[in-house]
Amino acid sequence: MNKLLNDLNDEQLQAALHIDGPQLILAGAGSGKTKTLTSRLAYLIKEVGIDPANTLTLTFTNKAAQGMRERALDMIGYSSSYPPLLCTFHKFGLLFLKFNIEKLGRKNNFVIIDSDDKKKLLKSIAKDLKIELSSGFLVSEISKYKNSLLTPEFVTSQAVANEYKNIAAIYTSYQANITENNLVDFDDLLMLTYEILDKNPALRTETSNRYQYIMVDEYQDTNELQFKLLSHLASEHNNLCVVGDDDQSIYGWRGANIRNILDFAKLFPDTKTVKLETNYRSTNQILEAANTLIEHNKTRLGKKLTSHKGDGIAIKLKHSMDESHESHAIALEIKALLASGVDPNEIAVLYRINALSRSLEEGFIRANLNFKLIGGMRFYERSEIKDIISYLRVLSNPNDDFSLLRIINKPKRGIGKTSIEKIQKLAFDQKSSIYGLVNDQNDTLISLIGKKAYGSLLELTENINMLREEISSNGLYSFIVLFENIIKLKEHYRPLPDGADKIQNIDEFYGYFDECIERNSEMRIDEFLNDISLKSEQDQIEENGVTIMSIHASKGLEFEHLFVIGLEEEFFPLLGDECNMEEERRLGYVAITRAKSDLTLCYVDSRFYKGKRKQLEKSRFLGETGIVKSACLKITKSTAFKKGDLVKHKIFGIGRLESVVSSGKEFKLAINFGGNRKEILSSFVEKI
């Protein structure tokens, strides 16, 4: 056997030796998919004699592309100035557009607009059009349109309700602006590439013939646009080899379409399917739990992981009274591991929702444990938490200009940058605080910024005064409910793409505040703030610390000792209209398979939920893994549809999904077709 393939097992070898025709490599967690993919690329070039220029390997991250490139070139021993093209989808789009964008009447000296500039441009357009929509929401919405190949003209034609008309108007103006200035955004790199290939059959044929052998990593994460682009690139030969795992498809919320991998063999006839089921990472006990859990999903191709390592220790179940006891217990166990010589980089704690990180961070700080928070900000550094803290600082000291300036437009009050600069200068000149100027109804201030802006500021100071009087009269007990009712921070954040996460964090903070007041009814705001400062101003964390991260951020990683917290109904799995139970279960599968040998699953009796302490049931997943034998298994129907999805109906066209309700053997979907609301059974529409 060729030395390039010596280290492959039978299934990996079978996949690497396949040359012509479509191939689906169904690669389970820890089964050596990267090794298989790079071995196949090396085999095609080194042994079969395929010109490297005729190969194209696509990944999702630059890090994955770089690692795979180095590995492949090392195997090939290739030193040519024209190595095989191995890059991300978007890098490929950039290279393609540099040579072909003139076919759209554009010049090839275009510039890519970054996310910050995109937000600023959208904010400016919305302001010019006198439309009040957050730039974050607009970025997300326009990205969805582009990845669904919906042009400004189409979106405009479908818009009936005012909100959709406003979005369409901004989208139209935005696209005209960047085209006129020869800019492209991140989504254009793929959308324009597809558009050029779709409109130019000769170029499509030429491009497909150039890339005779195409490979794609993490295929389960592709969206509709990426699938259509790949179909064009492989149109002349169908030599498309994709590697992925339907059981690890966890990005439906950002547009990934699991049907791409589930239907691959139908979409590309004569597909060779190879399953990589030997896992080199985890023990039998861990894989048995993962296999048992994921088998409850109906929408899957089906495979069963087996351990190359063999048996290990049993999975541990940690039951705590609440989140404080949970973090304390985990911290003690981690300290024991570290004392025994375990590398802290081999220890991680995972959670489903970001708000759960607060209790972990505080517990680890109290235990003097070094940790690193991956894929997210520390709880007290998140913008929405800083906003609340700034409000509390102003309530404690109204003359704190620094904190007042942070909250002056949160929620929005229409006070522009120029007005703020004038206010600051006047306060400096008159040796006054901003609060003092407004509260004293300063005539110079009114003439400087106008009655409307002044009225908004006056309303803010009146709210501050009202809240301060409430604290003075009744203390801080039940203060937080009044605070939210008056300030309405949740309403400010709700429309944002990550609004749900921010509201969960706000509720977590509110709940923690109430708990502190219950423990000490005499506590003052300044004392609470000082306590927060001590918790948030920890020394810079060293790199070799215990890892805290979300399950989404953990994909592709592995740890010797792993704790998964929050295994309660409503926390993991999430429940409600927006929940896709099969995707929740796939998240559970991903979490479990990050563990090499030592896995602890944690649940509590109660947590703060939406600002209140709530008694919780243990997660159904504990029963579905077979770990909790006595758990009552909940029978849950599963749907690939969730609130917010764009769907397509053969008569009504494109619509936005507003709710999902079980109806007999399928689901009833409430869909907004540009203002025309219909209830349609799920079998009559498709996701786009």
**Cβ 139 vs Cβ 212: under 8 Å:** no
CA–CA separation, 529 and 478 (whole Å) = 17
Exposed e or buried b per residue across 460-473, where buried means at least 16 C-beta atoms within 10 angstroms of its C-beta: bbeebeebeebbee
**Cβ 306 vs Cβ 279: under 8 Å:** yes
Provide CB contacts within 8 A for 221, sequence distance 6+: 60, 244, 249, 251, 256
**Cβ 323 vs Cβ 512: under 8 Å:** no
Q: Would the CA dihedral through 502, 503, 506, 512 be positive or negative?
A: negative
Active site residue: 11, 12, 23, 33, which one? Answer: 33
Active site residue: 11, 188, 218, 584, which one? Answer: 218
DSSP class of residue 113 equals P
Neighbours of 77 (CB within 10 A): 8
CA–CA separation, 140 and 383 (whole Å) = 19
Provide CB contacts within 8 A for 404, sequence distance 6+: 390, 394, 398, 433, 434, 435
Active site residue: 88, 193, 248, 600, which one? Answer: 248
Active site residue: 141, 217, 584, 624, which one? Answer: 217
Neighbours of 532 (CB within 10 A): 19
Active site residue: 585, 594, 596, 642, which one? Answer: 594
SS3 label, residue 271: coil
Active site (annotated) includes residue 33: yes
Long-range Cβ contact pairs of 573-581 (< 8 A, separation 24 or more): 573/352, 573/619, 573/620, 573/621, 574/352, 574/353, 577/642, 577/643, 577/659, 577/660, 578/500, 578/642, 578/643, 578/644, 579/642, 580/252, 580/638, 580/639, 580/640, 580/641, 580/642, 581/636, 581/637, 581/638
Angle at CA 169, nearest 5°, toward 164 and 173?
A: 150
Return the HEC string of 459-486. Answer: HHHHHHHHHHHHHHHHCCCCHHHHHHHH
Q: Would the CA dihedral through 78, 79, 81, 87 be positive or negative?
A: positive
* H/E element, 317: strand 316-320
* H/E element, 307: strand 306-307
**Cβ 621 vs Cβ 632: under 8 Å:** no
Active site (annotated) includes residue 386: no
CA–CA separation, 431 and 85 (whole Å) = 64
Angle at CA 538, nearest 5°, toward 536 and 541?
A: 120
- Which residue type is seen at 470? E
Q: Which residues pair with 130 in a beta bridge?
A: none
DSSP string, 198-237: HH-HHHHHHHHHH--EEEESSGGG--HHHHHHHHHHTTTT
Structure tokens at 587: 């998240």
Within 13 Å of residue 416, how many CA atoms lie on the same side as its CB?
Answer: 9
CA–CA separation, 265 and 262 (whole Å) = 8
Active site (annotated) includes residue 156: no
Active site residue: 11, 12, 23, 34, which one? Answer: 34
CA–CA separation, 637 and 76 (whole Å) = 49
Within 13 Å of residue 366, how many CA atoms lie on the same side as its CB?
Answer: 16
Active site (annotated) includes residue 594: yes
Q: Would the CA dihedral through 296, 298, 300, 303 be positive or negative?
A: positive
Active site residues: 33-34, 217-218, 248, 594
